[in-house]
């Protein structure tokens, strides 16, 4: 499961674009994570330029 540090997140959408299971979605200025879709691959954590995601 992935968690987001909202204070670090720049809402750039990099994580959304690499998620193979479409578990991440940018809604206005909020990153939504659908835990039931997340396959814990870690791609979003690796790609985040702000270091805002943790697995």
- Residue 43 contacts residue 20 (beta carbons within 8 Å): yes
Residue 35 has pLDDT above 90, yes or no: yes
**Strand intervals (E) in 1-55:** 3-4, 24-27, 30-33, 53-54
Model pLDDT, residue 1: 87
Give pLDDT tens digits for 2-21.
999 999 999 999 999 999 99
Is a pLDDT exceeding 90 seen at residue 29?
A: no
For 39-53, the pLDDT digits (tens) are 999 999 999 999 999
Q: Domains of the chain by range and CATH? A: 3-54 (3.30.70.20)
Nearest of 2, 3, 26 to residue 14 by alpha carbon: 26
pLDDT of residue 32: 96
């Amino acid at each position: 499961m992935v968690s987001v540090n909202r204070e670090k997140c720049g809402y750039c959408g990099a994580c959304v674009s690499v998620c193979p299971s479409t578990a991440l979605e940018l809604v206005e200025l909020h990153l939504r994570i659908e835990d039931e879709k997340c396959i814990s691959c870690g791609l979003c954590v690796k790609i985040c330029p702000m270091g805002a995601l943790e697995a």
